């Protein structure tokens, strides 16, 4: 029992990331009808927003401290981050410590801006082109974006830890009445799951309860009719692209402590996110979320040693296997509408 709960928990953090990326992909696909292979890159850019903010906060003035010497006998150079000299040592250190959560605020305008530029500058011109062209041009964009990041941040992963309070794990099992140490779960993953739940809830609430959201949902169902009503749907769709980019970016920001950001993390997540979208059903937002968590948890179960002993290598292929079976038997996915993208 405890091991089952542990696997479910283990699946949650990856599942959350899948769900958030797939949600954004589906928003873009549902509204603009564009298959966006650059969506993984947005996730990656989000993660690097966290890295960047950390770097900015730790920008330091270097002063030689004549009272101390290093091992060569020269005066020791002491780096003091500007934030510490401006806001006092304690506040400054706390700011640096909390760089990742702070990056949420920092990343939202950046991601929305990136989304706008992408949509207005590139994607807009591909609405009328075949899906294959859309895939290819966004794939090219993904390569360019990841190479730009590589050029500035290098090829190595950059550790970006969570605030000190959230480091370490807590004993989840005791809460549920199991033996101590039966279910140990890192705090940050808890935070990540809660965070993604909030974002998913916010997106759904936004679509359901605002006029803007209503128009967008109507546009997803029937673009032409909404256009006939004299509503400028294109403008709203551009804003949706910005929101989808922000969702992917936020997923990336918060993922930075779990997996040190590197330039190809976007590509790594992209394929899986597409699989998630297809399993959930192209164009279905709840489907994307459901499939994200489902596949994350399934993956966690498949990597249990007991299961791997029965079917070796199943953890490596389980997601793809599920996707292939779903596409073949139920092409509209778990919750998709009929006929989406079937030529």
Q: Which positions touch other proteins (CB under 8 A)?
A: 35, 122, 125, 131-133, 135-137, 139-141, 143-144, 147-148, 150-151, 267, 271, 274-275, 278, 282, 312-313, 316-317, 320-321, 323-324, 327-328, 331, 341-343
Q: Name the residue nearer to other proteins (CB basis): 56 or 143.
A: 143
Backbone angles phi, psi at 165, to 5 degrees: -60, -30
Q: Name the residue nearer to other proteins (CB basis): 194 or 221.
A: 221
Token couple for 249:
């970016």
CB of 135: closest distance to other proteins in angstroms? 7
Q: Name the residue nearer to other proteins (CB basis): 150 or 337.
A: 150
CB of 72: closest distance to other proteins in angstroms? 31
Q: Name the residue nearer to other proteins (CB basis): 72 or 309.
A: 309
Q: What distance in Å separates the CA atoms of residue 54 and residue 102, rounded to the nearest whole number?
A: 9
CB of 136: closest distance to other proteins in angstroms? 5
Q: Name the residue nearer to other proteins (CB basis): 14 or 189.
A: 14
CB of 280: closest distance to other proteins in angstroms? 13
CB of 264: closest distance to other proteins in angstroms? 8
CB of 314: closest distance to other proteins in angstroms? 9
Residue 122, C-beta contacts closer than 8 angstroms, at least 6 positions apart: 137, 141
Residue 252, C-beta contacts closer than 8 angstroms, at least 6 positions apart: 42, 43, 44, 45, 46, 47, 48, 49, 50, 107, 261, 265
Q: What distance in Å separates the CA atoms of residue 91 and residue 238, rounded to the nearest whole number?
A: 39
Q: Rg for the chain (alpha carbons), in Å?
A: 22
Q: Name the residue nearer to other proteins (CB basis): 177 or 313.
A: 313
Give the alpha-carbon dihedral of 229, 230, 235, 241, to 10 degrees.
10
The CA distances from residue 172 to 8, 163, 222, 269, in Å, are: 12, 20, 46, 28
């Amino acid at each position: 029992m405890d091991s089952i709960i542990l696997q479910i928990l283990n699946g949650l953090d990856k599942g959350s990331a899948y769900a958030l990326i797939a949600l954004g992909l589906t928003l873009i696909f549902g509204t603009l009808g564009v298959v966006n292979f650059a969506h993984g890159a947005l996730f990656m850019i989000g993660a690097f927003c966290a890295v960047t903010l950390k770097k900015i906060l730790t920008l330091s003035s270097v002063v030689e401290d004549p009272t101390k010497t290093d091992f060569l006998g020269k005066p020791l150079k002491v780096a003091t981050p500007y934030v510490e000299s401006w806001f006092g040592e304690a506040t400054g250190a706390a700011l640096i410590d909390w760089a990742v959560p702070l990056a949420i605020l920092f990343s939202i305008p950046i991601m929305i801006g990136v989304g706008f530029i992408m949509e207005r500058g590139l994607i807009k011109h591909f609405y009328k082109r075949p899906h294959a062209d859309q895939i290819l041009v966004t794939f090219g964009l993904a390569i360019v974006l990841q190479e730009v990041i590589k050029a500035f941040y290098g090829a190595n992963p950059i550790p970006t830890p969570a605030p000190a309070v959230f480091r370490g794990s807590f004993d989840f099992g005791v809460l549920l009445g199991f033996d101590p140490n039966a279910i140990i779960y890192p705090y940050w993953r808890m935070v990540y799951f809660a965070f993604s739940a909030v974002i998913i809830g916010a997106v759904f609430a936004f679509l359901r309860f605002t006029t803007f959201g209503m128009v967008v949902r109507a546009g997803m169902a029937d673009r032409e009719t909404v256009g006939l009503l004299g509503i400028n749907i294109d403008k709203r769709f551009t804003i949706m692209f910005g929101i989808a980019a922000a969702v992917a970016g936020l997923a990336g920001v918060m993922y930075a402590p779990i997996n040190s950001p590197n330039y190809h993390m976007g590509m790594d997540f992209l394929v899986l996110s597409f699989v998630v979208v297809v399993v959930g059903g192209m164009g279905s937002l709840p489907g994307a979320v459901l499939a994200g968590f489902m596949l994350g948890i399934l993956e966690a179960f498949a990597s249990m040693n007991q299961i791997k002993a029965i079917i070796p290598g199943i953890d490596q292929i389980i997601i793809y296997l599920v996707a292939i079976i779903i596409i073949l038997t139920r092409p509209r996915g778990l919750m998709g509408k009929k006929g989406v993208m079937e030529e």
